Amino acid sequence: MVSTWMRWGRLLCAGAVAVALAVSTPTAATAATQNPIIGDGSVYSADPTLLVADDTLYLHAGRDEAGENINDFVMNEWQAFSTTDVDGGEWEHHPSLMRPEEVFDWATPGRAYAGQVVEGTDGRFYWYVPVHEAASTADDKFGIGVAVSDTPLGPWTDHADRPIVSQTILDNDAHNIDPTVLVDDGRVWMHWGSFGRLQAIELAADMKTLVGSPTQITSGVTGFFEAPWLFERDDTYYLAYAANNAGPASGCTEATYHACIAYSTSPSPLGPWTHRGRILAPVSSTTSHPAIAEFQGQWYMAYHTADAEGGNHFRRSVAIDELNWDETQTPARILPVVTTPAHGADQTPRSNVAPWATVSASNEPIPTQYWIKALNDELVRPNPLPPDMWGSWTASRPAQEWIQYDWTTPVRVDRARIQFWRDTAPGTGDGVADPAAWRLQYWEAGEWKDVREPSGYPTSTREMHEVTFEAVTTSRLRAVLDAAPGPAGRYSAVAVEEWEVHAVQPDGVAAVTATTVAGVAPDLPTTVALEYAGEHIAAPVQWDAIDEAAYAAAGTFTVSGFVEGYAAGRISAEVVVRDEHPWRTNLALTGAAAAQSTATGATTAALNDGVVAYDGAEAAVWRPDPRSGEPGWAGYSWAAPVVVDTVTAHFWTADDLADLPAAWAVQVRVDGVWTDVSDADAAPIEAGAASTVTFAPIAADAVRVMLTPQDGGASPAALGELEVLGEPQDALAPEVTLTTTGVAGAEGWFVSPVTIRAAAIDDHDQRTTIDFAVGDAPWRTTTDVRAVEETLSEDGEHTVRARATDAAGNVSEVGSTTVRIDTVRPTVTGALDAGARTVSAEAADRGSGIARVEYAIDAPTAWTAYTEPVAVDEQPHRLLLRARDAAGNVSLTASVDVPIGSDVPMEGNVAPRATATASYTSGWNSVAAVNDGSLTGSSWGTWPNVGEQWVQLEWDRAVTLDRAGVLFFRDAADAANAGMIPPREWRLQYRDEASGEWRDVDTDDPYARSSETLNEVTFAPVTTSRLRVLMQAWGDASAQGSSGILEFEAWAAESASPTLDVDVTTTARCVASKATLVVTAANADDAPVTIRLDTPYGKRTIAELAPGSRASQAFSTRMSAMPEGTMAVTLTSGAADTASEEQRVVVFDEQSC
């Protein structure tokens, strides 16, 4: 079926489409109005490929068919679009071109992933696609097949009768998808790969036979993840690809799940490659896929997004935009693609002000699987992925987190809405769970305060909770989230999909008016005043673009605007446009008329009475007195200088009384001196019409016209009206104001970059010249402006100056303001005094200075001011520290772990008190999971490694153990021979303290392999500081069954209270510069006691120490420095058949000689 589409929404032939719909299935969707090509959600498309053939551009693509709540790529077939005019927007849709199982009899249905169609060396068309191989025994069943057709649209048949690439064929463990193929001068090259592994190989001219072995491309393709696209231009090879090198400073993407499109270049198809940067930022779908081709002299890039109606990460739609080049570089550089349509801010009136806030969180840098900007993107997806939310999951999860909004203009708010997310129930101490509790805080006078009268704080997930509270005006709001606790002091993470903050709706909005002159765009305010019972709060406004025609001539018009947080509707501003020269007028009307002489019956008042007369005896005119004998002049004077540039004379004539002048000229009086005007036009002499002279503008206090009569004065010249055009001299200087915009901290500091706006207002000029300077820098002059802005980003104190000069040269007074900026958090560190069991804090700040330091014990709650080193009891604790500077910035939380006191007995499961290490740990696992006290949640693993592996627990002292248990992690059955499988065999070993060797524990218990219950083993008591699990993996080869553990427990032997009254003490001394350990035993018992001493430096026995006696043994260490350590002491008393035995661990101190 072929259906006609218009990319820009114009259906070419409704009748033709109706016929097509009547005879064909499936039906095609309605044409999109703009990108994506189909935007109504009736058909989704992904993974585009571009092909140019017969002056037609073909865009082949997969088809997404996942339901709204399905997080999987449900892709059963491929489709295509074609056009002969990309700019015109006419596309034809070709649905259901190919299905994997219908073309490849070795393939399963589904998984119709990204491929590419190329024209082969023989002129036929080849479609390289990844599909699942039905009979494959490989772990990953994807293979790359090749279909062939005589036309770009099929029908397609299997070209190779089998996959040409697969794990089995290449003996690799790669994810063999996303092939891209380039036919170049008769040679054929194919690149493919995913999950960061990029491979390339040459194909024979038959388009299916591999030539040689694949090349692994590991350098020059920074961040490569998948979706390669290979093409050639001007003898340079270009490789575009989806990259996901993520992080806050990444030039690609902040979140791991998102991808940008980057590219590299090479002189050959196999490299070496040079990374050139990003050309497409992450789009609305997590995945991204490029296709690049030249068509009709213009280069294009196709890609996919989630922008169609109902779209999401698994319901994508293809789009296409121009790709342009920077030819000044060699090789030519691809310019960043400008996507269409432009995605501007949503200007639907609403009360939610969160979208205009700057977001921050306590766990910055944010774990890269999350995206902090999802908090205020106003999108709540039915089945979100990690980048659709903010979250805090990492291996180390604190008891409390916070998320925060900052506004550069304070907002008045009284309501918030929030939606939490989880993947596990509270109580496990692992995963992401509902928060245990939470609260809202606002910033006031440099302090965080709980909002008043909250309506309640629900904690359930996947539903939007609304919390109302007493209205506050603030520039900062935060949600403080208490994590759900679990066993052994661990906490689950928290996650938020969306967090809205709603403004209080005002009583009204103050009217907005603006004035401009014709031809000059009006300067509209950046904020409007919201009215609240007599109080006014500024709110940012975004005005619509103004057509130049609106202010081309004098008049009025209105401009519509969107106010952030104002839900009642859009507002409007009235703009008054004045004439191009609003101050220009007939100055004669305000001047004092004068003349050299005035004839009887004439009057100088006629010069500026507003009545123009050219002839007639009845008219009121001025004419000179013929008796004066002078040519005559007339004009005006003003009390203050005026600026003049035009004089218009209306000459009056009458028989025998007056005639037109033979000539006339304009003079001005400046500083008491009369001079002819400069740059004057020739003075015309018109009968019955205006006679006008223009000249260079000049400031003068008087103007006159010099009249030369005809006939030597017999017929004097007379005036029916004399106009002088200009404007009053501008003697008033403009006024300049400085305003600051930024996030206000405490004590007059800003905690964000600050925008300084210097604006000038003048009584005459709409625009002025503004000089602007920061600190001691020279003036920076900007002409013909209403205002200038500069953003200050550097921390510190800045003095900002500004002045304005109008067209008349009047200079304003210098305005100045001081701006103090501190955007950097202070730092704090802690130091442990192990002997005193105290923690001291040291804080530093390079900006506003430290205001205070606080500490909390074990959880970031109940913060207390730090004044001196903090002492803790004998139990293990984590002491948390934070510092705040004068501006209000708070440091990252520092922590110091205080181990359990040496006098606290080792009892019960002592594994959590040990430090865990391992032979190997997979990158996504943590060995700390084995002794976190939880039988669920986090695990340790070694995938894909196999062979002998171990996990070890080490204590800071010797402990007597007699039982241990291991819970293995499994994600596959034994028969799968893949993934995580409990070890084939394992055993427990302890470290012999005397010899340092590892020894098997003495046990008759079996070593079970359960992943459901703890595999406990009891054994003869051992006194040791280390215990380990030694495992032999199930698998014999990589990834065929690796070992993993959920929990490793070790139990201290129950010890009876000492029954023998024997005191064993240690001292140390130096002998010949070597440390010697001296052990002394004193028997206060009533029977002889044999004492066996087992130290790291040897073993000795004190036999039958008599009651009341003492004895010592010296152990030479042969070291100049003996470290602190432990020794085992065994006391035996009585006959062999009735003897009592007691074991002790004795600690000895370090000694340096």
Which positions are annotated as active-site residues?
47, 226
Helix (H) or strand (E) holding 170: helix 167-170
Alpha-carbon radius of gyration of the chain: 44
Residues 718/615, Cβ–Cβ less than 8 Å: no
Helix (H, G, I), strand (E, B) or coil at 656: coil
Helix (H) or strand (E) holding 20: helix 14-23
Residues 6+ apart with CB under 8 A from 343: none
Residues 486/430, Cβ–Cβ less than 8 Å: yes
What six digits make up the tokens of 800?
């900002």
What six digits make up the tokens of 838?
């105290």
Residues 988/1027, Cβ–Cβ less than 8 Å: yes
Helix (H, G, I), strand (E, B) or coil at 437: strand
Helix (H, G, I), strand (E, B) or coil at 1142: strand
Q: What are phi and psi of 146, to 5 degrees?
A: -130, 125
Amino acid identity, residue 414? D
Of residues 1034, 976, 798, the one with CA closest to residue 138: 976
DSSP state of 778: P
Residues 644/698, Cβ–Cβ less than 8 Å: yes
What six digits make up the tokens of 253?
């993407």
User: How far apart, in whole angstroms, are the C-alpha atoms of residue 9 and residue 13?
Assistant: 12
Which residues lie across from 496 on neighbouring strands? 390, 420
Residues 167/140, Cβ–Cβ less than 8 Å: yes
User: How far apart, in whole angstroms, are the C-alpha atoms of residue 356 and residue 948?
Assistant: 55
Half-sphere exposure of 297 (CA within 13 A, CB side): 1
Q: What are phi and psi of 1001, to 5 degrees?
A: -70, 155
Residues 6+ apart with CB under 8 A from 752: 358, 406, 408, 742, 743, 821, 823
Read out DSSP for 695-727? EEEEEEEEEEEEEE-BGGGTB--EEEEEEEEEE
What six digits make up the tokens of 241?
């690809």
Residues 754/741, Cβ–Cβ less than 8 Å: yes
Strands 571-578 and 512-517: parallel
User: How far apart, in whole angstroms, are the C-alpha atoms of residue 926 and residue 939?
Assistant: 7
Residue 1077's CB: how many other CB atoms inside 10 A? 24
User: How far apart, in whole angstroms, are the C-alpha atoms of residue 931 and residue 38?
Assistant: 53
Helix (H, G, I), strand (E, B) or coil at 424: coil
Residues 1117/1077, Cβ–Cβ less than 8 Å: yes
Residues 1096/1060, Cβ–Cβ less than 8 Å: no
User: How far apart, in whole angstroms, are the C-alpha atoms of residue 292 and residue 301?
Assistant: 4
CB contact burial 171-190 (16+ within 10 A = b; e otherwise): ebebbbbbbbbbbeeeebbb
Which residues lie across from 130 on neighbouring strands? 144
Residues 553/575, Cβ–Cβ less than 8 Å: no
Residues 1136/1130, Cβ–Cβ less than 8 Å: no
How big is the chain, counted in residues?
Answer: 1153
**Residue 321, class by beta-carbon neighbours within 10 Å (0-12 exposed, 13-18 middle, 19+ buried)?**
middle
